Amino acid sequence: MLDIPIIIINFKTYKEATGDNALKLAKACENAAAKEGVSIAAAVQACDICRVAEGVSIPVLAQHVDSISFGRNTGFILPECVKDAGAKGTLLNHSEHKLEHGVLESSVKVAKECGLAVVACATDSEDAKRISAMGPDFIAVEPPELIGGEVSVSDARPEIISDSVRAVKEINPNIRVLCGAGIKNREDVKKAVELGAEGVLVASGVVVCEDHEKAVVELARGLKRQE
């Protein structure tokens, strides 16, 4: 469903990635994926899933779903609804939308039962280890203090990546480990891969750039195997 290595672009709620702009950004990601031959996915707001999924061929993810089923759940996001809109997976437990342990476990379960790939976010290696037991498809390790900053996790806290990969793989070798926070260029991505990551989760490093396609291509070139 989601090939690795992979770059997941989190559109968040930036103006540059909302509504019609979400589709424009997704098309830039699609162009970069085709140009560089790498796997790229877009995590968009719930209201933009349908328009983006219908407009591009790259996988589209929901930024969140709730641990609910059909029924009386006003204001919540139903996993089946985002899947029907075209989402292939979902982010869960991002530092900007943290979930209690039991809620996260239940959310992973209902999302996977619905057929969505689950990318669960963790703050460090210990958090990644706890989440591994829940069985998500991916764990994205992002130290909150580095998100949106000028220094990448692969430079500032490289041990978080290597320790998380080791901790996760010891519990479930089938879980893919990604990293994020401050990732902005090919060297950041290359270092992350060298440390064992199987891709990256990025946001502002792409979304707020003037040339979106150029920014994604730059990241993609760090993801590709070096000759």
**What is the token pair recorded at 76?**
């919540």
160: tokens are 């978080």
The answer to whether the CB of 140 falls within 8 A of the CB of 119 is: yes
- For residue 211 the two structure tokens come to 């040339």
Indicate which residue of 30, 105, 142, 218 is catalytic: 142
Active site residue 145: no
Residue from 30, 36, 64, 94 carrying the catalytic annotation? 94
Please list, in sequence order, all residues whose beta carbon lies within 8 angstroms of the beta carbon of residue 21, skipping any fewer than 6 positions away. 15
Give the whole-angstrom CA distance, residue 72 versus residue 84: 19
Tell me if residue 94 is catalytic. Answer: yes
Residues noted as catalytic: 94, 142
